[in-house]
Amino acid sequence: MKTVQLTQPDDAHLHLRDGVYLKTTVPATAKQFARAIVMPNLKPPVTTLDALIAYKARILSAIPAEFSFEPLMTLYLTDSTTPQQIAEVAASKEVTAIKLYPAGVTTHSEAGVKELTQLYPVFAAMEAYDLPLLIHGETSDPTVDIFDRERYFLDQMESIVQKFTQLRVVFEHITTQEAVQFVLSASDHLAATITPHHLLLNRNHLLSGGIRPHYYCLPVLKRRQHQEALLAAATSGNKKFFLGTDSAPHTVSTKEAACGCAGIYSAHAAIELYAEAFDRAGALDKLEGFASHYAADFYRIARNTQQITLIQKPWKVAKALPFGDEIVVPLWAGDSLNWQLLENRE
Ligand code: DOR
Ligand code: ZN
């Protein structure tokens, strides 16, 4: 039986939600990842240091005793965030990065940023204190076609990286070949996360032969040619591209609705889903750098020392998983994956 050993991976982009949902999301991630960058788009969003510390404590109390897992916390940027607040946050050492949602682009982004240029003094403070900026890179202009919103954001991305040359920026969950090119042409202060769903799926999976609400996420799935560009980037061995699942669970009733929520739950099998994508591309040898090394290097934290083992042994993903009082339909529900985490399922 074929096996692959990896340094334990980190998830550089994760939604854990809150309350009862932590009982599902935290163990799912902790069984495979050593650390995760935790998104702050709760309702209300995590906009203060006090709220962030309290949220972190709730996450820590949901970690099963058998796993060691470190949540790396992010603060939600708003139009009223100040440089002074950045200084306090930097001094606290509790905050790994700051998350920017253009207002209105996605789930719980209403409190996000309306005018990016207004925040330039805040970006200058982040640059000075060396706090990374994580960007949901889509334009919030409702007149721009939803499939073009990432491409239209590139101008704003360009302005930020040109003006703040020492600011570390992560272009989150990239979905287009133009974004790949943009990241490649920028300095090493710009990196990007890539999700398992954007590597495994394209917009035909979402819309052809019936509409699949469980494949609806933001940025929305794109054409196959973009999927292929992302696969090429992820498997290239370039340290600017690293693993960030964007696992974003919603209950089945809020997904299968007249106005279904955006978000795909992938934490139940994240590393196995990436292994599937890399194996299909004939690039399993590139998985370790992407999953376990490059995010740690970018965030300037030590690489993990523990190992995980994947074995080539097909297994079926559950059709649904418990989620609070309801269920969540996970990515790959009812379908077969070829790789499985040894520690997980033996
Ligand atoms: O599909 C998404 N879901 N994209 C996001 O940016 C947010 C996320 C969520 O929190 O549900
Ligand atoms: Zn996200």
Comparing 107-121, 243-257, 308-322, the range with the smallest average pLDDT is: 107-121
Strands (E), 42-90: 70-76
What average pLDDT score do residues 43-49 get? Answer: 96
**pLDDT category, 346, cuts 50, 70, 90?**
very low
Q: Which DSSP helix (H) or strand (E) runs through 328?
A: strand 326-328
| Residues 257-268: tens digit of each pLDDT | 999 999 999 999
Mean pLDDT, rounded, for 155-168: 98
Distance 39 CA to ligand 2 centre (A): 7
Q: Give me the CATH number covering residue 116.
A: 3.20.20.140
Q: What is the pLDDT of residue 345?
A: 40
Q: Which ligand is nearest to the CA of 245?
A: 2
Distance 301 CA to ligand 2 centre (A): 21
> What band does 106 get if pLDDT is binned at 50, 70 and 90?
confident
Residue 325 known to be catalytic: no
Domain count, the chain: 1
pLDDT of 108 reads 85
The binding-site residues of ligand 1, defined as CB within 6 angstroms of any ligand atom, are 15, 41, 106-107, 136, 217-218, 248, 262-263
| Type and span of the H or E element at 155 | helix 149-163
Question: Residue 189: which domain range?
Answer: 3-342
Position 70 scores a pLDDT of 98
Q: pLDDT band at residue 178, thresholds of 50, 70 and 90?
A: very high
Distance between CA atoms of 93 and 91, rounded to whole angstroms?
6
State the closest ligand 1 atom to the C-alpha of 261, by its place in the atom list counted from 1.
11
Tell me the per-residue pLDDT of 209-243, one tens digit each, with 9 for 90 and over.
999 999 999 999 999 999 999 999 999 999 999 99
Distance 84 CA to ligand 1 centre (A): 29
CA–CA separation, 113 vs 91, rounded Å?
A: 24
